[in-house]
């Protein structure tokens, strides 16, 4: 067998046609490491831009390869796709197969079913579209829900391969033109794509992130570099040095200064993409000092294994997070990345390199037979997992009972502004619209999760009650959240509820919210307090009794999943739950919002739910009598809501005592 030891120039056919440039592999190293450290939450807030760096590099290398073959008369689509199969498919197939096998042993049925779905999408080169669809239900790339999607990272591979489905045909069509017209055409297409990206960034951010048309400009930027004539790279050393360092600083600024909240891609993607282009341009003819740094042997080696490293790291992190009860420590995350590195080295040496160097599957028919058989095999396996609903027979019944806990609260009702304006609030108990309204429960999704107990108590006490619940909308006047998800009409919505309270002479109002979600910093705490005081002031002069429910203990993980996994591996459910000390720390952080309100306003009462969740070992319990108390990490199930019945009884005692019925 051919020697497969580290040899940067021992690449596939692409390197035979292109002068190998070690600094490009150095750029790949920066790209993949930034993505890895971002995914591992190790401080690279904008590390996701590494994917964009990859896109520019890919556009540059692949376009250069195609143009050289076109000029020599050696280009063919079949030959091109043979190289793509050798480059992409072997390592990807191994990782997808390994992920499915690991999922069998580690994932609960719903997660395993979704893994099967995503593997089908990946096999069909549409995983970017699949994850875009998932973003409709809150599984965006930057959301916590994405952390249990082992193949989420394949969206970028789908974008790239979709691009190369049509791009060679475009170059074939344009080959009759000279380089100037070719460059002009690609520049126009690049500009159109970038304009689309900017527009989508405002109106369709998920499409902007996942779809090819708004992303194509990044690949086309690299393609534009490949079409430049040789003289376009012949500038003085100081100019190239300045450009090279400027490009590196641009990439690093994006990596370290961008965050998950940075609108991306679009204008913000210019910094890493132009930075990459500048480095490639400045080092094309002769290495600059930046190029020499990037060409250092250890850096180049990371670049060589970057594809396998990118493939392996995300499933490893997902499975680690999924199986662990508590959030992974920094040390554990570093250990997972080290394990990914080891797997990447093995994958590069025994899978990538042999296929690319034609040690395995030497002929073209063998390559396409392998591609077809592998695709069909993975499709059958993945689709079977989906059809079998994640093969629930793998789990004991007790674990299944926890895993099958409702994924929605028992009360899922987002009230709209027009309904509030019309006075059509959600009825509680046996109340009707003509009955005196004794009680209003007003809040966000946390208010939804306590509705079962209020509904039951209204029925038992014959109390006329209504609810106004709306996700990501705290019951605060004049409040615009910095968090994503707040509706644009929330201020009008909350103002209309105050008008409802006044017009219907409601005498008891309960305010419920996930207060900690909106508490981003000290300034935000002061703003929340001002808005809460304004809300109280707007309704207290009507003689309204105001009850404010503090946030229920927020667990660090998805409760039903953790209960199921714990039972599956024979763990002790009594040892699960947020430590009481952690809950008290979080409660003190939120107290600044409520501090002094009970003294300032005689008709305001603060309700603390924590005591009702304290179980053994000073933990805030997550299960009672075999029933999960949460349907995720912070929203209560009906069983969890019923724990709070004693906390709400004084409200109903007061209603009865005052005879307001």
In angstroms, the CA 306 to CA 373 distance is 26
Angle between helices 77-106 and 364-387 (to 10 degrees): 30
**Are residues 120 and 76 part of one domain?**
yes
Split at pLDDT 50, 70, 90, the class of 300 is very high
pLDDT digit string (tens) for 527-551? 888 889 999 988 877 678 999 999 9
Who's near 133: CB < 8 A, 6+ residues apart? none
d(CA 633, CA 636): 9
Q: Give dist(CA 311, CA 452) in Å, integer.
A: 45
**Is 284 part of any domain?**
yes
Read off the tokens for 259: 């965050």
Task: Give the integer Cα–Cα distance in Å for 614 and 361.
Answer: 62
Lowest mean pLDDT among 126-130, 155-159, 228-232, 656-660: 656-660
Residues 380, 465, single domain; the answer is no
pTM comes to 0.83
The three-state secondary structure class of 199 is helix
Q: Report which of 103, 513, 498 is spatially closest to residue 316, judged by C-alpha positions.
A: 103
Looking at 208-272, which runs of residues are DSSP E strands? none
Q: How many CA atoms lie within 13 A of 450 on its CB side?
A: 29
pLDDT above 90 (res 146): no
For residue 295, is pLDDT > 80?
Answer: yes
pLDDT of 661? 40
Separation in Å, CA 631 to CA 551, 591, 623, 624: 16, 26, 11, 13
Q: Work out the pLDDT band at 13, boundaries 50, 70, 90.
A: very low
Does residue 294 sit in the same domain as residue 348? Answer: yes
Does residue 4 belong to any structural domain of this protein?
Answer: no
Bridge-partner residues for 630, per DSSP?
636
Give the chain's domain count: 2
pLDDT at 656: 77
* Residue 251: alpha-carbon gap to chain centroid: 22
- In this structure, the answer to whether residues 298 and 212 fall within a common structural domain is yes
Q: Phi first, then psi: what are they for 569, rounded to 5°?
A: -100, 15
Same domain, 128 and 177: yes
Q: Are residues 323 and 450 in the same domain?
A: no
Q: Both 148 and 184 in a single domain?
A: yes
pLDDT at res. 9: 46
Q: Which residue reads 């902007």 in tokens?
A: 208
Asked if residue 504 and residue 378 are part of one domain, the reply reads no
Compute, in degrees rounded to 10, the torsion defined by CA atoms 20, 26, 31, 33: 140
Residue 434 DSSP SS3: coil
| CATH code (residue 450) | 3.40.50.1110
Q: Tell me whether residue 409 is in a domain.
A: no
Query: CA 56, CA 277: separation in Å to the nearest integer?
Result: 7
Give the mean pLDDT of 128-152.
80
Q: Which domain holds residue 87?
A: 13-390
Boundary residue ending a domain (373, 390, 407): 390
Do residues 321 and 148 make contact, with C-beta atoms less than 8 angstroms apart? Answer: yes
Is 52 a member of any domain?
A: yes
What pLDDT is stored for residue 409 in this prediction? Answer: 59
Tens digits of per-residue pLDDT, 233-272? Answer: 888 999 999 999 999 999 999 999 999 889 999 999 999 9
146: which DSSP letter? G
CA distances from 440 to 101, 463, 489, 500, 607 (A): 51, 11, 20, 10, 16
SS3 content of the chain, % helix, strand, coil (to 5): 65, 5, 30
Partners of residue 438 on adjacent β-strands: none
Q: Is the pLDDT of residue 512 over 80?
A: yes
DSSP state of 630: B
Q: What is the pLDDT of residues 368-421, one digit of tens each?
A: 999 999 999 999 999 999 999 999 999 999 999 888 875 555 677 888 889 999
Residue 124 and residue 184 in one domain? yes
In the 8-state DSSP scheme, what is residue 370?
H
Quick check: 174 pLDDT over 90?
no
Q: Residue 394 carries which DSSP code?
A: G
User: Helices 445-461 and 645-658 sit at what angle, rounded to 10 degrees?
Assistant: 50
DSSP assignments along 285-322, one per residue: SS--HHHHHHTSHHHHHHHHTHHHHHHHHHHHHHHHHH
Residue 142 lies in a domain: yes
Element (H, E) at 624: strand 623-624
In this predicted structure, what is the pLDDT of residue 487?
A: 62
Cα–Cα distance, 515 to 503 (Å, whole number): 28
Is residue 279 situated within a structural domain? yes
Q: How confident is the model at residue 1 (pLDDT cuts 50, 70, 90)?
A: very low
Lowest-confidence region among 327-341, 400-414, 578-592: 400-414
| Cα 509 from Cα 547, distance rounded (Å) | 6
Model confidence at 8, in pLDDT bands (50, 70, 90)? very low
- Structure token pair of residue 45: 């807030």
Report yes or no on 200 lying in a domain.
yes
Residues 545, 605: Cα–Cα separation, whole Å: 8
Confidence of residue 275 (pLDDT cuts 50, 70, 90): very high
Cα–Cα distance for residue pair 599/9, rounded to 1 Å: 75
CA gap 45, 32 in Å, rounded = 14
DSSP 8-state assignment for residue 563: H
Residues 360 and 467 in one domain: no
Alpha carbon 456 to its chain centroid, in Å, reads 37
Q: For residues 165 and 243, state if they share a domain.
A: yes
Q: Is the pLDDT of residue 616 over 60?
A: yes
Q: Is the dihedral of CA 131, 132, 135, 140 positive or negative?
A: positive
Would you say residue 635 lies in a domain? no
CA 572, 577, 580, 581 torsion-angle sign? positive
Q: Taking all residues of the chain, what is their mean pLDDT, rounded to a whole number? A: 89
In a shared domain, residues 250 and 310: yes
611: left (phi over 0), alpha (psi -120 to 50) or beta: alpha
């Amino acid at each position: 067998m051919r020697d497969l030891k580290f040899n940067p120039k021992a690449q596939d056919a692409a390197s035979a046609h292109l002068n190998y440039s070690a600094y490009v592999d150095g750029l790949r190293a920066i790209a993949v490491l930034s993505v890895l450290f971002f995914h591992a939450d190790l401080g690279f807030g904008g590390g996701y831009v590494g994917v964009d760096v990859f896109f520019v590099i890919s556009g540059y290398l692949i376009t250069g390869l195609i143009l050289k073959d076109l000029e020599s008369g050696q280009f063919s689509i079949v030959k091109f796709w043979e190289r793509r199969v050798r480059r992409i498919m072997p390592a990807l197939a191994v990782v997808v197969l390994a992920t499915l096998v690991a999922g069998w042993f580690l994932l609960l049925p719903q997660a395993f079913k979704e893994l099967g779905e995503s593997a089908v999408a990946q096999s069909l080169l549409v995983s970017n579209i699949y994850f875009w669809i998932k973003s409709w239900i809150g599984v965006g790339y930057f959301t916590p829900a994405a952390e249990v999607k082992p193949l989420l990272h394949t969206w970028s591979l789908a974008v790239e391969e979709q691009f190369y489905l049509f791009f060679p045909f475009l170059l074939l069509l344009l080959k009759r033109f000279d380089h100037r017209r070719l460059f002009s055409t690609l520049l126009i297409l690049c500009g159109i794509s970038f304009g689309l990206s900017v527009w989508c960034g405002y109106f369709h951010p998920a499409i902007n992130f996942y779809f090819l048309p708004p992303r194509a400009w990044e690949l086309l930027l690299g393609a534009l570099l490949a079409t430049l004539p040789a003289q376009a790279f012949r500038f003085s050393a100081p100019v190239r040095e300045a450009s090279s360092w400027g490009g590196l600083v641009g990439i690093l600024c994006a990596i370290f200064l961008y965050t998950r909240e940075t609108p991306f891609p679009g204008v913000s993607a210019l910094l890493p993409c132009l930075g990459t282009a500048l480095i490639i341009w400045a080092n094309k003819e002769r290495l600059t000092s930046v190029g020499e740094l990037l060409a250092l042997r250890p850096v180049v080696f990371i670049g060589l294994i970057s594809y396998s490293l990118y493939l392996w790291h995300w499933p490893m992190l997902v499975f680690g997070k999924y199986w662990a009860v508590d959030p992974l420590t920094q040390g554990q995350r570093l250990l997972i990345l080290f394990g990914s590195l080891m797997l990447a080295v093995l994958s590069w040496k025994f899978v990538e390199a042999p296929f690319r160097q034609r040690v395995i599957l030497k002929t073209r028919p063998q390559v396409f037979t392998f591609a077809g058989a592998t695709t069909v095999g993975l499709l059958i396996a993945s689709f079977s997992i989906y059809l079998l609903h994640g093969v629930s027979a793998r789990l004991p019944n007790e674990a299944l009972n926890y895993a099958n806990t409702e994924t929605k609260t028992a009360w899922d009702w987002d009230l709209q502004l027009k309904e509030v304006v019309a006075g059509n609030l959600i009825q509680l108990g046996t109340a009707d619209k003509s009955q005196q309204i004794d009680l209003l429960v007003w809040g966000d999704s946390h208010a939804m999760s306590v509705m079962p107990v209020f509904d039951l108590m209204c029925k038992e006490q014959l109390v006329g009650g209504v609810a106004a619940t709306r996700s990501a909308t705290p019951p605060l006047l004049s409040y615009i959240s910095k968090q994503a998800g707040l509706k644009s009409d929330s201020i009008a919505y909350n103002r209309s509820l105050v008008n409802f309270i006044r017009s219907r002479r409601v005498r008891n109002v309960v305010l419920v919210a996930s207060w900690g979600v909106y508490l981003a910093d000290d300034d935000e705490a002061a703003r929340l307090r001002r808005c809460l005081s304004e809300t109280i002031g707007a309704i207290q002069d009507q003689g309204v009794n105001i009850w404010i429910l503090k946030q229920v203990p927020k667990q660090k993980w998805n409760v039903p999943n953790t209960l199921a996994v714990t039972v599956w591996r024979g763990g002790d459910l009594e040892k699960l739950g947020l430590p009481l000390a952690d809950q008290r720390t979080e409660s003190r952080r939120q107290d600044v919002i409520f501090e002094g309100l009970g003294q300032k306003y005689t008709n305001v009462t603060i309700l603390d739910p924590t005591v009702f969740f304290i179980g053994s070992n000073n933990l805030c319990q997550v299960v009672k009598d075999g029933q999960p108390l949460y349907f995720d990490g912070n929203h209560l199930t009906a069983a969890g809501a019923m724990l709070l019945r004693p906390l709400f009884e004084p409200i109903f005692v007061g209603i009865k005592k005052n005879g307001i019925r």
